[in-house]
Structure 1
Amino acid sequence: MEGLLAAELSALGAQQARKTVAGVYFEGALVTGYRACLWSRLANRILLPLTRFPGQDADALYQGLLQVDWGAIMRPEQTFSIDFSGESTAIRNTQFGAQRSKDAIVDWFQQRSGRRPSVERRDPDLRFNVRLSRQGIMLALDMAGGSLHQRGYRLQAGAAPLKENLAAAILLRADWPGMAARGGALIDPMCGAGTLLLEGAMMAADIAPGLQRRHYGFERWQGHNAAQWQALVSDARGRAERGLRATLPEIRGYDADPQVVRRAQENIARAGLETVVRVSCKPLSELKKPTHKPLPHGLLVCNPPYGERLGDKASLQYLYRQLGETMLREFAGWQAAVFTADSELGRATGLRSHKQYKLWNGALASAVLLFDLDNNRLSEQHPGPAAATATAAEPASEPRLSPGAEMFGNRLRKNRRRLASWIKREGIDCYRVYDADMPEYAVAVDIYAGQVHVAEYQAPREVDPEAAAQRLAEVRAALPQALAVAPDAVVYKTRQRQRGDQQYRKQADSGEMLTVQEGQARLLVNLRDYLDTGLFLDHRPLRLRLAREAKGKDFLNLFCYTGSATVHAALGGARSTTSVDLSNTYLGWLRKNLAHNGLDESRNRVLRADCMEWLGNCEQQFDLVLLDPPSFSNSKKLNDSFDVQRDHAALLNAAMAVLRPGGVLYFSNNRRGFRLDPSVQETWECVDISRETLDPDFQRNPRVHSCWRCTARA
């Protein structure tokens, strides 16, 4: 920030401004120092040198400070503190240096008046800076008496707050003052405590950043010129009043966390900018350019989480991609500035930044990435390792098929034709095209956004292994031709009963995530690494039903898996969602799905717990509950095995206990031959909606799952 600060100080009347490491030296009259304290948007401290003297050890430090005329600086009844920096072979501890400096000041007053000033670390009348370097020792007065980034409007912030002077630097690098002068708007889609918005508003309204500070250190300094200072303050107040009366640009902010939005509103009120800055609760997934008046150009600026302090990096890549897509879709023609400490996350937006400026956020090396949204486009590369793209097979290379392979291929084509009008009408991205229609070809074939996933059902023991292998070979031969995909775009797996943690174990390590669309939701599937893909296609109608019913409700997803139902409920307008599962693998996947849809975890809780145990301790109630347990589990994480047929009554009763009056619970499972316990039906109103929750691609096999709508009896 040194270059920006040097330019700012020169504009404020500073002479001989020159950069140094983490600072700027400048010369000028006392009024220049006053003006810098009041008007600098970038400085942390303004230090007024009082004296310099040679020395490297404690005695030289003490004697040098003892020669200062402290009576011309402060009174003995005042309090003070020392900020000591630097070290030498004799002074290796800043606390020791501060102590010897304090001794000199106290002894000076004691020797001359018999009175001694007191040290006050928290809120002293005067704060001094003593710096030890190879050139000697410098004593300076901290003119502001504390960091100038504290403007006075922010008492509370959200997690990982952005300092005000750093926010100002981001806006200056993005040329916000020039854009505001041309009538551009300012929007922050992840505004947090509203710091970027408030700094932007003060720039646009010509409000001095230090105008609301309660006091300055120099006001208690003996050399203070009160009349000169008051003249500067009066002029700044007049400029602020005129600025607020002028036509100001549109300045809006959004955040997904309602508590953070309330803090931002409080900060805005303390700054007196309620008529200029407006914030509201809205996740990134709902961000759109305001339409109440024409906003042809402006600046979209934000400081998204970047892993060092907030969020999980793997999930954040999808959040940044969502940000990039939203910026380009909603704010074409605008400029954008994204501040991040992670260059990889910056690239995850998929947009090309035309300029980058390095800045430090505390100890984090960070950067402001500038984007021109008028001349930009999204890269094809998605977050994480790229998934293979399905491509049409070359007709010339099609081998001659055996009769069995030809028969299997014909069935695939027939099924696809049968589903074609439904797929087009409903905008279906993923569907099942074949499910062991012919018993001898016992596979399930699913389409995921043009890619193919084949699950071979484990053959019974009485089936000849060679015959089973031959039939799978015929499937492999026929499938690329029948579905017009390249052979390497088809993934094959064998389904068998999984025990313990086997269902969570990787079968590969590609890391390939494919984005598929289902209703409003963009969901991540992995076709290669696990037995399951992360999306159970037969539950599609139930997920879409939950999306329709979730608005304004508190939603609970038990055994949440990768959280696709949670995403649907959140996008459907749920007041809150809570997702519970015992698998870290699936909960991490859920976090990626949330981020991929621009959904914040402040309203979408993700909990790792045994569902039965968690329900026994749950004190919250919910309006809408999804209970979709596994058919069987004997994971080592559980004290006992779970069998849905044997244990569902106790589980269902526990889940119904957290349901609010008038609420609805959907109970679903994939156990073949499952029967609902009669005691459950006597206690609760349970309506079998299994057939209602099957789309055309699963209606041939109605036993794929069972589903009930459960409510309290009237």
Structure 2
Amino acid sequence: MSQQFELYLTCPKSLEGLLLEEARGLGLEEAREQVAAVRGQASMETAYRLCLWSRLANRVLLVMARFPLSNAEELYQGVHAIDWHEHLLPSGSLAVEFSGRGAGIDNTHFGALKVKDAIVDKLRTAQGERPSVDKLNPDLRVHLRLERGEAIVSLDLSGHSLHQRGYRLQQGAAPLKENLAAAVLIRAGWPQLAAEGAALSDPMCGVGTLLIEAGLMAADIAPNLRRQQWGFTHWLGHVPALWQKLHEEAQARAQAGLAKPPLWIRGYEADPRLITPARNNIERAGLADWVKIYQGELATFEPRPDQGQHGLLVCNPPYGERLGDEASLLYLYQHLGERLRQSCLGWQAAIFTGAPELGKRMGLRSHKQYALFNGALPCKLLLMRIEPEQFVTSARPAENMPPLAGESNTAARLAEGGQMFANRLQKNLKTLGKWAKKAGVECYRLYDADMPEYALAIDLYRDWVHVQEYAAPRSIDPEKAQTRLLDALAAIPVALGIPSERVVIKRRERQAGTRQYERQAAQGQFMEVTEGGVRLLVNLTDYLDTGLFLDHRPMRLRIQQEAAGKRFLNLFCYTATATVHAAKGGARSTTSVDLSKTYLDWARRNLALNGFSERHRLEQGDVMHWLAEDRGEYELIFIDPPTFSNSKRMEGVFDVQRDHVQLLDLAMARLAAGGTLYFSNNFRKFQLDDSLQQRYAVEEISAQTLDADFARNPKIHRAWRLRTR
């Protein structure tokens, strides 16, 4: 009977059950699960077979010794007692990996050092020769794990992690590890489907990992057949003849598998930059005749090779990491569901996602779900049958609800909450659309938390929708808030008849310091809009704000009407839209001050877009400091400060409630006789200091500075007119 060894197979968390089944099939005996691992007994032949054929394991560790441990000295002595001459030459190299804590060893580096010293001291020759340390490609990689007062010393037979098959030298931004991709395919039943001659397609294939793993399974190719370097290659206990026999058997199976007619395995990727890397990976895996990749958008995805063949659609859609990704991802999942329902009838689908709540928006019921981890990120694998009885139908009663704008027979299916939200949007659009058309307004607020449970502000910028999600209070269940957000996002394009790719979402939170000016994205997409006869640039994607405060529209038009022949000063000018209106109204000169170079550059573009350059000065600086040094005189001043600002470029922190008296006194000192100063801010709790009434003629004009689109939210800002007495 061949010698039996204890083996310890590691794997990603959540794959233990699958690995247990696989390892038993490859010959592991007395196998049992542990956290992120499987243990069992095996011959050296089985150990080699696991290295070669395991699609799920990270490492195959051969246990060399176990001993009780209570302190660092016992660690040294226990490792030193092993006969290392049977495993490594004194001239060889080693690496030590140490895990676990206890027995007074709380530092893994210290533990690894103790293990290394014990091995080196054991092998040191009389001439002083001793093994060297090579962390990258050692002759022997040793693992020591502390587990409930016991030290377990193991030899790593695999070397580099087994998920590193060697074919993926080029990868995308967020690739799946190869063994996790294999687990997704096994859970989806691909090995059985492949045996039946089924097809497979991935509409968002990236660099092709899922496709390649599927091809390796279908062609019966050992996942690590092409690996050249192993953890046992220079181990003195290695049995080359036994390994050679198993390797030749695997090569023969691969040759026989590749000689069969290839299955229909196809991938599609929208990003042209990934096509060549994906094809190179496929070539390195030896699957050029089996796996094909094409460039294509999801909207044009047609997976079926013919009407009669069944198959599996598998994909790993993006999860979204930035605030504001919700809209694009929701519509991506909706479109994916639509393509499945239209083009994959009779197929099965496996959607691996880190955003399972988005998976529910595909309009398909999953008959099975598996919890998996992608690194530390909890994910779900959703398995679906693409059959009409699995389609999620609309919850909207047809008899008492009018058709939604842009709705068709295949329109997005809305949940009850989404339907209510869509109805409100349509109601608002009917009323405000008429007003906007009559007033010649292109950009306006359509919805502003009208329904408290849907805490959004929705603005129309011509045929684009800008959505701001107000941060939910801590008392609101985050999952419920997320569900409502997704309901609303699903409703917006349906209710407004606007393509989903023209919906942009951002999350509204208190912004301080440089965060006020930080980019949210870097798309650089500026759009020109008109207002009161001036042209202005807005950017819906890159910054928290768009470059145009819609609630100040009446104030800007008032400034345009009053600016003729006057010197105009715009403090905290932002993108200087009020300045452009003043110039349009015939201002003799304008001066605009802001701390942000980004916004002043934007202001310069707004002025140039309207043909204004001369007599229009842009100043970068702290407004309070600038006012204290300025000696100019102005007949018209506009001040719309932030609630707080603590940029590195300014001294101290600006607080509008605390500092507004000083700000207004400094500004009024620059106001010419008979001039007007307009002061506005959007701090809900703001109170104008009573002492200002004693020094200046002060009139609150808030109600006069709100248009119909902000009538539902009269607290959006408050405004005053100040004049000298």
Give the TM bin, normalised by the shorter chain. 0.5 to 0.7
**How far apart are 1:218 and its partner, in Å?**
0.7
Select 1:359's aligned residue among 372, 379, 387.
372
**How far apart are 1:584 and its partner, in Å?**
3.6
The equivalent of 2:442 in structure 1 is none
Partners of 1:129 and 1:455 lie apart in 2 by 69
Contact kept? 1:333, 1:372, Cα under 8 Å: yes
Query: 2:315 matched to 1:302?
Result: yes
Matches within 5 A, 1:240-319: 240-291=254-305, 293-294=306-307, 296-308=309-321, 312-319=325-332
SS in 2 for 1:46: strand
Q: Deviations over 1:470-514 (max 9, x none)?
A: xxxxxxxxxxxxxxxxxx9xxxxxxx9x9xxxx998999996342
Q: Deviations over 1:113-148 (max 9, x none)?
A: 621100111111211111112241111100011200
Partners of 2:438 and 2:314 lie apart in 1 by 60
**How far apart are 1:323 and its partner, in Å?**
1.1
Distance 1:456-1:388 versus aligned 2 partners, 3 A rule: farther
Query: 2:526 matched to 1:558?
Result: yes
Partners of 1:56 and 1:325 lie apart in 2 by 61
Distance 1:505-1:86 versus aligned 2 partners, 3 A rule: closer
Letter in structure 1 aligned against 2:526: L
Partners of 1:203 and 1:518 lie apart in 2 by 47
Contact kept? 1:324, 1:378, Cα under 8 Å: no
**How far apart are 1:281 and its partner, in Å?**
1.2
Letter in structure 2 aligned against 1:647: L
Letter in structure 1 aligned against 2:310: H
SS in 2 for 1:452: helix
Matches within 5 A, 1:45-60: 45-60=59-74
The equivalent of 2:705 in structure 1 is none
Matches within 5 A, 1:87-166: 87-110=101-124, 114-166=128-180
Ranges in structure 2 where 5+ consecutive residues have no aligned partner: 1-14, 412-423, 440-450, 452-458, 473-483, 509-522, 530-537, 548-573, 577-583, 614-725
Distance 1:5-1:504 versus aligned 2 partners, 3 A rule: closer
Relative to structure 2, which stretch is displaced further, 505-514 or 112-121? Answer: 505-514
SS in 2 for 1:162: coil
Partners of 1:157 and 1:459 lie apart in 2 by 50
SS in 1 for 2:33: strand
Partners of 1:370 and 1:246 lie apart in 2 by 29
The equivalent of 1:656 in structure 2 is none
Distance 1:641-1:150 versus aligned 2 partners, 3 A rule: closer
The equivalent of 1:665 in structure 2 is none
Select 1:183's aligned residue among 197, 200, 209.
197
Select 1:226's aligned residue among 211, 225, 240.
240
**How far apart are 1:517 and its partner, in Å?**
9.8
Partners of 1:506 and 1:40 lie apart in 2 by 46
Letter in structure 2 aligned against 1:234: E
The equivalent of 2:349 in structure 1 is 336
Letter in structure 2 aligned against 1:391: M
Partners of 2:196 and 2:171 lie apart in 1 by 31
Contact kept? 1:254, 1:281, Cα under 8 Å: yes
**How far apart are 1:207 and its partner, in Å?**
0.1
Contact kept? 1:336, 1:372, Cα under 8 Å: yes
Query: 2:214 matched to 1:200?
Result: yes
Partners of 2:84 and 2:281 lie apart in 1 by 39
Q: Deviations over 1:153-180 (max 9, x none)?
A: 0112101110000000000000001111
Distance 1:7-1:103 versus aligned 2 partners, 3 A rule: same
Query: 2:606 matched to 1:647?
Result: no
Partners of 1:211 and 1:460 lie apart in 2 by 72
Query: 2:55 matched to 1:41?
Result: yes
Distance 1:447-1:101 versus aligned 2 partners, 3 A rule: closer
Count of aligned positions: 482
Letter in structure 1 aligned against 2:492: L
Distance 1:122-1:390 versus aligned 2 partners, 3 A rule: farther
Partners of 2:349 and 2:436 lie apart in 1 by 53
Matches within 5 A, 1:295-444: 296-308=309-321, 312-379=325-392, 391=401
Contact kept? 1:190, 1:254, Cα under 8 Å: yes
Distance 1:611-1:338 versus aligned 2 partners, 3 A rule: farther
Ranges in structure 1 where 5+ consecutive residues have no aligned partner: 394-422, 430-445, 462-487, 489-495, 531-554, 562-577, 588-609, 613-630, 652-714
Letter in structure 2 aligned against 1:363: A
Contact kept? 2:575, 2:600, Cα under 8 Å: no
**How far apart are 1:296 and its partner, in Å?**
2.2
Q: Deviations over 1:359-379 (max 9, x none)?
A: 111111112110010244543
Partners of 2:377 and 2:109 lie apart in 1 by 25
Matches within 5 A, 1:20-35: 20-35=34-49
SS in 2 for 1:238: helix
Distance 1:586-1:42 versus aligned 2 partners, 3 A rule: farther
SS in 2 for 1:514: helix
SS in 1 for 2:362: coil
**How far apart are 1:11 and its partner, in Å?**
1.0
SS in 2 for 1:167: helix
Partners of 2:336 and 2:545 lie apart in 1 by 25
The equivalent of 2:430 in structure 1 is 452
Letter in structure 2 aligned against 1:369: L
| TM-score, normalisation: structure 2 | 0.59
Distance 1:514-1:223 versus aligned 2 partners, 3 A rule: same
SS in 1 for 2:143: strand
The equivalent of 2:493 in structure 1 is 515
Partners of 2:342 and 2:606 lie apart in 1 by 45
Partners of 2:299 and 2:240 lie apart in 1 by 52
SS in 2 for 1:299: strand
SS in 2 for 1:100: helix
Distance 1:8-1:639 versus aligned 2 partners, 3 A rule: closer
Query: 2:256 matched to 1:236?
Result: no
Letter in structure 2 aligned against 1:224: H
